[in-house]
Amino acid sequence: MIPESLFTPQTNDWKLSLSRAFRRQADLLEYCELDVNGTTHGSETDFPVRVTRYYASLIEKGNAKDPLLLQVLADKREQQSVPGYSLDAVGDMAAMKAPGLIHKYHSRVLLTVTGACPIHCRYCFRRHFPYSDSSPDLQLHSEVMSYLSSHREINEVILSGGDPLMLSDQKLSSLIRQLNQLSHIRYLRIHSRLLSVLPERINPELVAVFSRFRGKVIFVTHINHPQELSGVNAQSLQLLSAQGFQLFNQSVLLKEVNDSAAVLAELSYRLFDYQIIPYYLHKLDKVQGAAHFDLPDERLCAIYRELCARLPGYLTPKFVNELSGRTSKTPVQCF
């Protein structure tokens, strides 16, 4: 276990911290005290390496199999073409009703408000997403706002990306002002990896921005391993929960990262200690370049059955798969 005192943010300026992120695999490996010329290290050109200093500080030095390192380290296997793995694994493009607006499920829509993210996870299901052609216009009379206005069945807007918290406070405030004019939008959900990998971003100013939404605000963190939680990001997450925002977590079951019921159970307990409810455990989305993270179905189900035996019901995440064209997440049938 990495000591929680190992890293302390050196600045409250999250943009400055972000600018110091690792953008070259060789620099990350050197920081982690690993061989820069390792044989499995892959090309960074198609999907560049990006890792925040905070996240990197949680990686065990000298451990080439560290579960946090494996999530962000480019691998030669990403270049393999594997049958069944596609550029659009979850059918985002078919469900896009306006640039950047994805409407898959009846009462909720998702906005890909930015392509930027503070960390590039190698299994990311949007690693091939055409962000340049899918940027939503969030002005008052835009196609996106007109769609939201005319579809009264929509009561929830989900901000995604990239990572929506990469937007400035000013842009987030503007978006919230627009949404506040739509009386049927009652819930605002923010899906963010940034919550755990760039704790400097979570500050009283950001909390104040989201407090202006007149409905319920939900944050969904993306944490895959208990090692990703420390006293540092705990302080940031507590700012959100203290404001009354509901916190959930979703994880992805990944080979050699968290493919252990014991690890996943520890994660659920630690999340709960941080006032985060374990929400979803995702089967890997079959995106091109991520096949080496996948596991056979029988192995996945064996892990999940053991996890259910270890945890109380309120800490057991739903094991689901997101399949293109479905009207909801699909439960993985393990019993």
Please write the tens of the pLDDT for every residue from 73-131: 999 999 998 999 988 888 888 889 999 999 999 999 999 999 999 999 999 988 887 77
How far apart, in Å, are the Cα atoms of 169 and each of 4, 11, 139, 208, 209? 29, 18, 16, 9, 7
- Give yes or no for residue 4 having a pLDDT over 90: no
Query: Can you tell me the mean pLDDT for 287-302?
Result: 96
Token pair recorded at residue 178: 């627009």
Q: How far apart are CA 132 and CA 227, in angstroms?
A: 34
CA atoms within 13 A on the CB side of 334: 22
Please give the pLDDT value at position 9.
55
The pTM of this model reads 0.92
Tell me, what's the pLDDT at 132?
75
Single-letter code of the amino acid located at 231: G
pLDDT given for residue 3 in this prediction? 40
- Which sequence spans correspond to the domains of the chain? 14-79, 93-331
List the one residue out of 285, 208, 226, 220 whose CA is nearest residue 249.
220
Of the candidates 296, 284, 301, 295, the residue with the CA atom closest to the CA atom of residue 86: 284
Is 135:166 a contact under the CB 8 Å cutoff?
A: no
User: Within 13 Å of residue 79, how many CA atoms lie on the same side as its CB?
Assistant: 10
SS3 content of the chain, % helix, strand, coil (to 5): 35, 15, 45
What local confidence, expressed as pLDDT, does residue 218 receive? 98
Q: Residue 31: helix, strand or coil by DSSP?
A: helix
Q: What pLDDT does residue 217 have?
A: 98
Return the C-alpha torsion angle 315, 281, 332, 72, nearest 10.
-160
- Does residue 43 sit in helix, strand or coil? coil
Among 308, 272, 196, 228, smallest CA distance to 319 is for 308
Task: Please report, rounded to a whole number, the percentage of residues in the chain having pLDDT higher than 70.
Answer: 94
Tokens representing 135 are 């940027």
Helix runs in 198-313, H state only: 204-211, 231-242, 261-273, 297-310
Model confidence over 157-208: pLDDT tens digits? 999 989 999 999 999 999 999 999 999 999 999 999 999 999 999 999 999 9
Residue 235's pLDDT is 87
d(CA 235, CA 232) in angstroms, rounded, equals 6
User: Which residue, among 220, 210, 221, has the nearest Cα to 243 in the 3D structure?
Assistant: 210
Task: Tell me the three state secondary structure of residue 36.
Answer: coil
pLDDT above 70 (res 38): no
Q: Which fold has domain 93-331?
A: TIM Barrel (3.20.20)
| Euclidean distance between CA atoms 308 and 330, whole angstroms | 18
Q: Are 84 and 121 in contact (CB under 8 A)?
A: no
What residues contact residue 301 under an 8 Å CB cut-off, 6+ apart?
Answer: 332, 334
